[in-house]
Structure 1
């Protein structure tokens, strides 16, 4: 209809010019809103790249991944190609223990794809024997160069431990977090789940305790750590920003 109205009032030559200019403007607007990205920019680790990577390089890779996530510039991937590339073998460079919380999809917030990391998730990112055994497999048997333990702000499992929640098998799980409560200085008041600052202090203390437990409870991993074959990295994910504050 717009073009019919223009045709009624404009000479044919001028009409063509107007239509061309309108098309150019639309193209510029489309270009400004849709930025094409290359497909397949990131590739899964190979046996050679995993063997060549150092623990410190693995640390840098996770830190850089979260920075990409926060800045909104994740690497592009061809997931189907990655599925095919990893079908016959996997060579992840890190094992990541994180919370079950649905708001912390750990591979996404670290900008890692298929085949990049082993991911162990459990409420409160607690260290159970199954998780510890998985870490030993990931590092000793499968060649990962780093173990990362990532907690997060406003953690429901931590709140449950603070509130002495008892519910089926959850009771035993929360008991593993409770030692972290005593690690927080007494000046953090009130010491309840309604005090989110206190909750976050307990969550960080829990991460630090898990880091210690990895060394204490696994002779396999302790030996690898002492020899510099693997590294340990801890972090706290902020639910409000998407950023991970790393510490070692």
Structure 2
């Protein structure tokens, strides 16, 4: 009798399991799986050229300026992004709160590898981050992005012209911007700010191209490009320098 009871219970559990399996199949058949569940958990590496990456940035900025951003589902790729990241561009951007690279280029999470510092210059820590982006993340493009009315550049002009020093660690920051400011003061003494902002971008593009074998060899082989850009605070437009 005990054996009969156990057989009945086992059969009942099997029937229940089969019923749940059929119910699950019917449920999934009626509803599409979310995009992140359909895709592989690990996103594919970049299969994009430096020129294509630059076009993607500029197309995104055009949408931003026109106030027609792409609709983004921030939850759709979240599961995939826990496994890996493959940004298509690296950015050296100012820390200015009015400049947000992801917004200005109309890009979502995982698409830009951004190093931010007041004055958008490259120091050792920023360089190490960019080396990582090129060597291990396959970033095909790096942009040094300056912006109009940059306070860090303006402060550096005042320091150089008036031979003054700033408190705390600000003098160290200024020392990285001085080379571009000194060039601008010689060439455009009447309007040094705009000239220094542009020169600072150009200076750091040049420095970055030759700063490390990881980056310089990738530039020489055509694997990556390093370019300069200027963000206009008034219009939101980014122009190549």
**TM-score over 0.5 for the pair:** yes
2:211 corresponds to: 217
Name the SS of the counterpart of 1:81 in structure 2.
coil
How far has the Cα of 1:223 moved from its partner? 0.2
1:135 matched to 2:130: yes
2:225 corresponds to: 231
1:47 matched to 2:41: no
Q: Deviation digits for residues 84-120 of structure 1, max 9, x if unmatched?
A: 2311111111111100000001111011110101011
In the TM superposition, structure 1's runs of 4+ consecutive aligned residues that sit over 6 Å from their partners are: none
Aligned counterpart for 2:94 among listed residues 76, 90, 99: 99
Question: Aligned pair in 2 of structure 1 residues 170, 206: CA closer, same or farther (>3 Å)?
Answer: same
Query: Does the 8 Å contact 1:238/1:244 carry over to 2?
Result: yes
2:9 corresponds to: none
How far has the Cα of 1:182 moved from its partner? 2.3
1:202 corresponds to: 196
Aligned counterpart for 2:83 among listed residues 68, 79, 88: 88
Q: Deviation digits for residues 54-93 of structure 1, max 9, x if unmatched?
A: 1110111111111110011111111122322311111111
Name the SS of the counterpart of 1:179 in structure 2.
helix
In 2: Cα distance, 1:115 partner to 1:90 partner:
6
Q: Deviation digits for residues 203-226 of structure 1, max 9, x if unmatched?
A: 110010101111222111000000
In 2: Cα distance, 1:119 partner to 1:187 partner:
31
Query: Does the 8 Å contact 2:43/2:80 carry over to 1?
Result: no
> What is the 5 A alignment of 1:170-209?
170-184=170-184, 186=186, 188-190=188-190, 197-209=191-203
Runs of at least 5 residues in structure 2 that lack an aligned partner in the other structure: 1-34, 160-164
Q: Deviation digits for residues 141-186 of structure 1, max 9, x if unmatched?
A: 1111111110000000001111115121111011110110122264
Name the SS of the counterpart of 1:80 in structure 2.
coil
> What is the 5 A alignment of 1:117-132?
117-132=112-127
1:144 corresponds to: 139
Query: Does the 8 Å contact 2:209/2:226 carry over to 1?
Result: no
Name the SS of the counterpart of 1:76 in structure 2.
coil
2:63 corresponds to: 68
Query: Does the 8 Å contact 1:152/1:200 carry over to 2?
Result: no
2:7 corresponds to: none
In 2: Cα distance, 1:105 partner to 1:150 partner:
11
